[in-house]
Each structure stands twice: as structure tokens, then as C-alpha cells.
Chains A and B, each alone.
Chain A
Amino acid sequence: MRVLSIALNTFRENLREKLLYNLLIFALLLIGSSVLLTQLTVGEWDRLIIDLGLSSMNIFGVLIAIFVGISLVNKEIEKRTIYTIVSKPVPRYEFLLGKYFGLVITLFINTVVMAVGLLGVMLYLNAPITMLLFEALGLIFLEFLVVTAVALLFSTFTSATLSAIFTLAIYVVGHLSNDLKLFGEKMGEVGKAVLNSIYYVMPNLERFNLKGQVIHHVDVSASQLVLTAVYGLSYVVLLLLIASVIFQRRDFQ
């Protein structure tokens, strides 16, 4: 009940701050580019529209996850709105979970609306809609969950600017971690150890990227999907646990 109230309040804040206006830009981008693509390209345009659609969904969602996520807790402390919440019978971890799920609701609605837009354009263009596309959408959302949890974790102990820098860095490293491991193989013992540990600690965000498979119609096995989902959700739980421990000890000055 309390977590839900805080989550819905956070969602309401996002709505009233007109966060979902980004959907308009997405819609314009999608419609505009689909019109252009069908006129300019000969064949293959369905692949292009999928590529463009999934990429922009990912970028918009990640930007929201990072830039709203980093201020989830920070803003409450800076604006001192947290004072009246923590003094009520609300355990601190419930507040944190409420804030997290609030942004997750926003991201969910954002993703659903964008997905409907993309599917609409694909239907209009008679592009084939496969199960794989829905799997890719699901994993994009899972990536948002992880990135939001990273942003929330930083937001429990550092400033908004630093949180943004750290979360962006983790996002970039998270997409390059496979390359880092390969790069490590070619380095000396120390370099290999360092890059290997980064590979294992950082979230491997490339696991959530099925764009290539959708475009090239390469099926993904159910077990691989389940494994990725378990990996993503475990990562989220771990991050939220660490965030709760830090938040529990914090003084709100």
C-alpha cells in the first residue's frame, strides 16, 4: 500500500512534469522517417524501420531512466520533501522501492505507447511482425529496469551530476563489456585481471539487445531468454539491496 502510494505519486510527478511529451517526438520521428524511407529506399525498409524504431525506443527510455532516475532520491533530499515521508511510519527501503517502481511505471507506459506506435507503422507498411520483435521489446524494458536501478543506487549517495556521469559510464561500459573481455585476452596478466573483473561486475547490457536478431530473423532460444531475464532481474534486486543498505544509513542533512 505504502510502496504503491509512493510509486503512484512518483508516476504522477512524471506525468505532471510532462515527461511523456517525449512520445510526441518519438511519434514524429517514426512517422517522418517511415514516410521518407518508403520513398527513398528500394526494399529492406522494413528492417530499417525496425532498427530505427527499436533504437529510438531504447535511447528515449534509457535517457529517461538515467536523467529521471538520478534525481529520484536526490531531489527528495534537496527539496526536503523526504522529511515528511521518513518521519511517517514508512521504512526507508519502502520509500526507495516506491520511487523505483514509480519510474518503472512511467517507463512501462512510455515503452508500451512507443511499441504500439512502432507496430502501427509496421502494420501500415505491411512489414512482418514476429514473436521475436516482442521478445526484443521485453528485453529493452528489462534493460530500462537495470539502468534505472543503477541510477537509483548512485542517487542514494551522490549528487545528481555525479550520478548522471556514473550511470552513463556504466551504460556505455555495459554495452562494451564483451569487447572489454576480448581486449583483456590480448593484454598482460594485470590488464586481463582488471578488464575481466570489470566484465563480471558491470551489467552486460548487450545481453538485452536483440535488435540484430530481429532484423536478421535469427531466433533466440527460450532458455536463453529466461536466462537473460533472470540475469537482469537478479541484477536489479542486487542493486536495490545495495541502495537500500546505503540509504538506510544515510543522514538527511
Chain B
Amino acid sequence: MGFKYIGKNITRPDVAAKITGRVQFLDDIKLPGMLHVAILRPDYAHAKIISIDTSEAEQCEGVVKVVTGEGCDLVYGDNIRDLTPIAVDKVSYIGHPVAAVIAETLHQARLAVKKIKVEYDPLPVYTDARDALKDDAVLIHEDSGEFWHLPGIEPIGGTNIANRYTVKKGDVEKGFKKSDVVIEGEFNYPLGSCSAIEPHGAIVWFHEDSTIEAWSSSICPFIIREELARVYGLPVCDVRVHIPELGGCFGYKSDITVEQTIAFIASQVTGRPVKWVATRKEDFLSTLLGHGIRTRIKIGAKKNGKLVALKTEILHTTGVSADTGVHVLIAATHNSTGTYEYPNCYLDGYSVYTNTPPVGAFRGYGHQESQLAMERMMDILARKLEMDPFELREKNYLGPGKVTSLGETVNKTNGNVKKCARIIQDVVFSHPKEISEDDKYYYGRGFAAMMKTPKGAPFSSKSCYLKFNVDGSVSINMGGAEVGQGLRNVVRLVAAEALQIDPSRIRVYTEIDTQFSPWEWQTIGSMFTTQGGKAVVRAANKAIRKLKETASQVLRVGVDRLDYDGDFVFVRSDPTARIPVPELGRGYTYDDGQTIGEVVHTTADARLPRQSNPDANGQGIMGITYTFGAQGCELKIDKETGEIIIEHFASCFDVGQVINPIQIRGQVVGGVMMGIGASLYEELKFDENGKALNPMFRKYKFPTLKNAPKKQTVEFVETPGEIGPFGARGIGEHPLVAVAPAILNGIYDAIGVDFYEIPVTPERIMEAIKG
């Protein structure tokens, strides 16, 4: 392609400050008069609060105020309003805020919080959706049927069901009758933690003039602003939210999750900023978790491998609040087809309240959980049909003219899964397996395809403010959160290409501040490159138009006769008639000082085009863009220890257009590692009382360098998309979607055992080998 800057390894602008330790993360912020908070968490995961005695804590050195939930009637939620800042009459999960101490120093707050005495009356505890769904289960929210919610979310009052979402396409029962082969399975993707190395946190400052100012390590400043304003009865303009540098996100710093609690606490000490940063244990148990998704699946197919019918039941252990989980459920449900066309579907999803921390976004957002089931079942079905698994998949891949579960027809511009799959087949499977086992190891290879759709909302816009400076350099401001993925460089390179200006002359924003930053819904769903990039191109085109309009007056020719090349605006038929761009940035000034034209600064936005709410069949335009890919691995299993060693992991995605090769490789390599963590090591475990058994890196088994695959192959197909800048699609979440099924299919290849849940630990392998 003839791009000048896109697709080249141009260094991202934010690394030098990070590499020297100079960037400011939330915990690095110090404000005048700032107070610190320690929060008391309960001894029980579900219990009535009988009494709270704060008297001793109040007497401790440095304590400014002890806060309890008494009288707090605030309720939050931008999807379903079921989120409270602090426990009032009962606690509902082990990370629930019960009380808080505000003190002059963090050390003082932590000492004092231990002095608070609470009496509890325990209630039954549910840590799994299956238990909370039983007929005799106690309601975790007595009034759940009454909660305000967005259209398309269907809580069922009198049960623990926070959302039921069902997709119907064709007639699934007729489909099974027509099928020659029907297979069933049940798969589990357990609770996990995003575990960014930077713990989540917030600072909130209730000012004397009734305005609120907040800082958060969040990717959703505008949701926080809108929710705080609503709850405290302020106009949105009176709440200001700052987002400093973020030390990783991977999903859980989305929506409003901790800020509501810190705001309630800070509201007790108007005039002073209050800071809270999660301890690592709190980061595990008092922010958002991921997954907790059980998939029951039934597939009907013809003898020739043609897929006919699919029935899935998705049970989501959504935790105590479903505000951020309801959409994960929707994504998991309608994407449970994986990257295949089923003429007949009945896909039935349930978000279920449980006494576990709330589950929300986790990189992949419901896709990897139900596609673990689908991609494992493809291999199982191929065995049943005695068919080559690649051939089976190829017969059924979504592609141009095929129709998804949502009733949307796939276009060529959505990408090419077949091509991705063939590349992985070539990289991993083109040669016969050299060896099946030796004295020490079993050897296996596995494959899985994947599909990702952004989970947006009808109003999910991103905006861009672009300004030409007096020297012709350009400043760009947006509301997209940089969490490490490198989106600032995407903005810069897309703008450079659109404006034909060297990236070194384009400076992008370093922090988000709702007082200055253009509105953005939230930076989620791998949508920024597509949507944010489109907003940049639109703002750039508007700026070029303005430059031309001014030049048109100076050169006395129509705008349509002018061209722009980054340095000059010139007459197309006579390029010597031209004006340097810097002379047009503030309007054009004649020698006598008279000025004509406008300052060249523009705004633009981009929504998810056509996005709609689901209809009565759960269908609608909710996929918008699809991204397809495939992954494969070569692994070996230690016969003595059961340890699984990933020798080679290969990924290929149709990303439309690579913006920056080194960055996109980093996204894939890191995402694959997260997927390996989930497949082999990570599970946040709770005992029957709802107490967490391993809320620390060492016991959660966060992957270290020793767990990294020996080799990763990263390939891309570039079928340009219709929406994104220069055809580009997102990539942030995709790399971990098919990792687990690829590995589990590889484990079957190695030892002939089908695993239906992760993590596949050495213990599980040894049991399987012996059993």
C-alpha cells in the first residue's frame, strides 16, 4: 500500500517518559491537604450487619473521620442500577466495603480500621450461578426486578437472575431433527482477575463550591462523571474527572467500580481530597473479576459436516453487581456460535447474582469463554464424523453472504477467517508431527479459530479535537484511555497519514481531563483504532477543508480547485500558486495586518454505525465490525510432573490494516500470554463460605517469564474494513480468544484426553494420565 506513515515502525510517543519512571500514575499524585483511606472488608461473604462499633477507631491517632453506610441510599449503574457505594444493612461479598477510616496518613488509616468491630448474622452463600439459580435460593438483591436498566437488559424479579438474553434464529428443534449427528458438552471458564500490575484506585475531592473533582485509574472518565453528577444531583459540567497514566487495564478498570465508594467516603470531608489505592488483595476482591462463564452446548450436524443447529446455555456467575456483567453475558451468548454459520440457533444466557466480587470486562469480553466450548466441540465433532477438523471448519466458516446468530450478513470487508486459518495450518501443521512421545514428554498440536465483535451501545461515540498550531504542527486531544496498548501512537500515525504531516510534528494528549477532553463513551471493546481512528480522519479532513477555504480566498480560486500536500495548499492546475500551511493555521494575514479566514481547529466524532438494541429474538445490529483470526500451538506434556510446556504459539488475525508492526506484535504476544495464563494457571478460587483462597499473585499463579512460550509466531491478513481508518480494525482483545481451545485441543492431541474446563493444571493432567 502506498502509505507514508501507516504500517511503519514509528516509535510510540509515550515510552520515553515511562522508561525513565517519570510518568505520573494515580498513586504518584499528591494534592494539598490530601487524606488517605483504609476500607474495612467483611468476615463473611453474605451476612446481615447487626452492629458496627467505630468508637475505638475514632480515637486513633490521625483519624479524621470514620465512615459507615448508615443512611446511604445511593445507587449506581450505567447499565443496571444495582451498585451501592458501601454496605448498608448487609454484606453480599467478601470484598464489600463495610466501613472506612479517613486519616492524615495511610498508615494511620490502616491501623485504625482494624479497631472497628462489626457483628454479623450470616446468610447462605452462593459462589456459583448454578446454586444461586436454585428455587430455594435466598435473593441477593430482594428488589432486583425493580432496578432501572438500559433497554435490552431483562432482569427477572423474584430470582437471582440479573439479565436473561436469548437469541433465536431459525428453528433449533427442527434443526436437531434434521441432523445426522448431535453432540453435547459442558465447559467452564472460571473466575479470573485482570490483575494489572498497577492496582486500581481513585481520589475524590468534594469542593466547597459543590463541585466534585476526581482522579481515577479508569478507562471511563465520562461514565464516572455522568454517574457522580446524577447521584449527587449536579449538572454534569460540575464534575471533573482526570485520568492519569494507567498501569494496565485489561478490562476491569472500566465502568464505575470503585469511584462510587471513594466518592461516598470523600463526601464526608468536604474540602479535602481523599485518596484510596487498592492493596493487591483488594485489587483481586474489591474491583471487577472476569469470566465465571459456564457454557452448555449442543450441536447438530449433517454427515457431510454441514452444521445445522446450535443450542447453548450460558450461565454467568456475575457476582454481587451485574452492572458491568450484563453486557459480557450478551457478548458471550450471541458469540457462542464462534466463527461458524448455524442456520438454526437457540442461545440462552443468564447473568446470575452470586456472593462473589462483581464480574465485568476482562480482555475478550465473553468471547473466549463460549468460544472455548465451540472450538473444542469442533475437534470433538470432527472425530465423531471421522472428518479432518480443518475441513469441517472450512465447510462452516462465516464469510461473505453467511449470516451470524444476530441475523447480520457478513461482508468481504469483515475479514477472512479461512485465510487466517490456512496460515496457521501452514505454520503449525504443514509438516507431519515429528514425534508423539518419548521417555520424558507427550507431544501435541492444537488449533482454534476465533471471531470478535465489539460490544458497543447505540450512543458509543469517540471524539477528536484537532488544532493546527502557528508553526504548522498539530495538537490532538481525545478521550481515549491509553492503558499501554499504544493508542496514542495510533492517533498520531493515523493523523500523520490523513494530514500528510510527519508524526514528529504531531503531539497527542498525555492525560484525560473531562474539563478539556472531547467526549468518549469508554475505551473498551477493541474499538478505539476503528472508531477513534475514524474520528481522527474526520477531524483531519475538516481541518484540510478549513485550510483550503482560507487559501481559496487568498488565491481567489474555488476550494474544489485546490489541493493539499501537508506543506502547502496549492492550485491543482498550477502548483506554483500555493500557500505554506503554517501561514493558514490562524487564518491568513496579509502584509498590512489584515486577516481573513478561520483558526484551523476542528472536532469530529465517530459512533458505531447502525448499532441497535436487540429485538424480540435477541437479534439486531450489534456486531458492527467482525474480526476473524486463528491460533495454533505446539506443546509438550511432562510425563512425570504433568507440566504443559508451550513450545510454539502461532496467531493470525485479519486486522484490515496494520498501523504499527512492533506495537501490534506486542499486543498479540502479550494477549497470548494472558490466554496461556487462563488456560494453564489462573483461577480465583472461593471456598463454600465465599472466602477467597488465593488473592495474591503467587497463589493465583500469574504467569511469569518462565511460563512464556519458547516461540511465538505472529501473522496478519489485511482485508481492509469499511469503518476504520485506512481499513484498520481493532486487535486489543483478540489475541487471547482462541488460546484456551487451541491448547486444550493440543492436549487432546498429546494424550487423548478431552478437557472441558480450565485451567488445565499439572494435577489435572496427572489425574487424567493415571485415570
Query: Is B truly associated with A?
Result: no
